[in-house]
């Protein structure tokens, strides 16, 4: 077993990246389920129907799409398990804990996905399902940051406050996005109910929240540049680009009456935004690539970035 773990340890970095990409990818495939009206293609859970765990011809293309998305959860779980075992083999305790959190989040996410089906795609439950995905993506980013990121010290108080304020406000933006979705036409099934809020009003509230997020990000970028925090400035600049692209895409899809292709791109952008917000928050915290995260802070010759 130890030899298997040692071999896996050499692949910890690509597995961590695969973990992140897979969790972003399933956000997009989940959007495809909803946007094609396939949310109840399998009308129950954990079975697809009362009589079968798998989709069959009578369910048509909607059943195939929904069941296919369920199958992707097993791929996600396999990547998470391999990543955890690789971290264990690398004897990197913080990476192991982060990989474990991601791994535990996947069955939790599957269970919450089942609840969305059992509640006939209740929009508030669907929102929780999406936000949990965003949280898992952020933990995946923390794992990537732990394994391969520039050495840095603790940032001064002002950029730290702005970074964590940006993260907190970003969560509000993501949540309001789910409220807009719950009021809109893409319910995932023709008979699924909406949250009853006026789509135009909640879209305006969401837009204002995005403006505030952009302002916070610009303020952080200015502080980072003026303070000579190069890594924080680069990360913040990239996130600002994502935010601006998301804002433009959001307005375009609104005025074009929410075409499914643009909505899917907007969902991808939301996952990238979540990843970027996590990266910003981490960029103001200290990081040492040659140290394992244990109490004594001893030198770690087996850290993932130092494997031959």
pLDDT-derived band of residue 291, with 50, 70 and 90 as boundaries? Answer: low
* Alpha-helical segments (H) within the chain: 2-9, 12-35, 60-89, 93-118, 123-147, 157-183, 199-226, 230-255, 260-283
| Inter-CA distances, 228 with 32, 150, 236, 243, Å | 42, 15, 13, 23
Q: What are phi and psi of 278, to 5 degrees?
A: -65, -40
Exposure letters 112-124 (e unless 16+ CB within 10 A, then b): bbeebbeebbbbe
**pLDDT the model gives residue 67:** 87
211-256 pLDDT tens trace: 999 999 999 999 999 999 999 999 999 999 999 999 999 889 888 8
Quick one: CA torsion of 142, 125, 204, 35, rounded to 10 degrees? 90
20-45 pLDDT tens trace: 999 999 999 988 888 888 878 888 89
Peptide bond into 131 cis (omega under 30): no
58-111 pLDDT tens trace: 678 888 888 888 999 999 999 999 999 999 988 888 899 999 999 999 999 999
CB 232 within 8 A of CB 221: no
**Coil, strand, or helix at residue 148?**
coil
Average pLDDT of the segment spanning 129-136? 96
**pLDDT the model gives residue 3:** 81
């Amino acid at each position: 077993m130890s030899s298997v773990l040692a071999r896996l340890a050499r692949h910890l970095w690509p597995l961590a990246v695969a973990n992140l990409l897979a969790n972003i990818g399933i956000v997009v495939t989940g959007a495809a389920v909803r946007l094609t009206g396939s949310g109840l293609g399998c009308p129950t859970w954990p079975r697809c129907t009362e009589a079968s765990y798998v989709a069959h011809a009578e369910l048509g293309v909607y059943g195939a799409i929904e069941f296919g998305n369920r199958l992707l959860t097993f791929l996600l779980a396999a990547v998470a398990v391999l990543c955890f075992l690789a971290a264990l083999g690398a004897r990197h305790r913080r990476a192991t804990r982060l990989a474990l959190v991601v791994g535990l989040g996947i069955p939790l996410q599957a269970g919450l996905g089942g609840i969305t089906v059992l509640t006939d795609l209740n929009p508030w439950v669907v929102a929780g399902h999406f936000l949990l995905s965003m949280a898992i993506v952020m933990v995946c980013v923390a794992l990537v940051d732990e394994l391969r990121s520039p050495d840095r010290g603790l940032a001064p108080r002002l950029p730290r406050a702005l970074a964590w304020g940006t993260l907190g406000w970003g969560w509000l933006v993501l949540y309001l996005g789910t409220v807009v979705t719950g009021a809109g036409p893409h319910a995932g099934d023709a008979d699924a109910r909406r949250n009853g809020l006026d789509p135009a009003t909640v879209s305006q509230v969401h837009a204002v929240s995005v403006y505030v997020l952009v302002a916070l990000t610009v303020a952080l970028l200015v502080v980072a540049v003026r303070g000579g925090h190069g890594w924080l400035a680069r990360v913040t600049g990239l996130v600002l680009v994502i935010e601006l692209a998301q804002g433009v895409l959001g307005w375009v899809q609104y005025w074009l009456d929410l075409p499914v292709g643009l909505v899917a791109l907007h969902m991808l952008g939301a996952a990238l935004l979540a990843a970027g917000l996590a990266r910003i928050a981490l960029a103001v915290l200290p990081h040492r690539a040659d140290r394992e995260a244990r109490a004594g802070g001893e030198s770690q010759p087996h850290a993932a970035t130092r494997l031959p």
